[in-house]
Amino acid sequence: MRQDSEFLAHPPYAIRGHVTPSGEIRAKYEFSPLGGSGGRDATINRKWSEVYEGVEQKARLHRDGPGCGPFSFEIRAWTSAQMIHRTLPIDSN
């Protein structure tokens, strides 16, 4: 079970960051292959004006700021092949 916890705790793909009160996004994209070599990362910085311009439904947002925040986020992802080849036991406790 510990091996499965490690698998879930360390996804090959992740975006971690935060949104400031003024709507700026500061994040980092990370790729760490399960084999351990060939990883990469990238810093993501977006001002609110860039976020606003990229949104299709602008009527729902304020041009001068997001109206929420600050908050942090973490998005974790695995490929379907990684999940299929992995057997995660169900804990009966």
User: Tens digits of per-residue pLDDT, 15-59?
Assistant: 999 999 999 999 999 998 766 677 899 999 999 999 999 989 888
Q: What is the amino acid identity at position 1?
A: M
Number of independent structural domains in the chain: 1
Q: Count Cα neighbours of 49 within 13 Å in the Cβ-side half-sphere.
A: 0
Quick check: is 44 in a domain? yes
Indicate the pTM of the whole model.
Answer: 0.70
**Does 82 map to a domain?**
no
Residue 86 lies in a domain: no
Dig out the tokens for 70 from the structure. Answer: 């600050």
- The whole-number pLDDT of residue 80 equals 67
Does 45 reside within a domain? yes
In whole angstroms, give the CA distance from residue 84 to residue 54: 34
Q: What percent of the chain has pLDDT over 90?
A: 44
Distance CA 51, CA 7 (A): 33
Q: Which domain holds residue 43?
A: 2-77
Distances (CA, A) of 29 to 52, 72, 76: 21, 14, 10
pLDDT of residue 68: 85
Q: Which of 27, 7, 9, 25 is nearest to 17 (CA)?
A: 27
On whether residue 92 sits in a domain, the answer given is no
89 within a domain of the structure (yes/no): no
72 domain residue, yes or no:
yes
Residue at 23 is within a domain: yes
Backbone angles phi, psi at 73, to 5 degrees: -145, 160
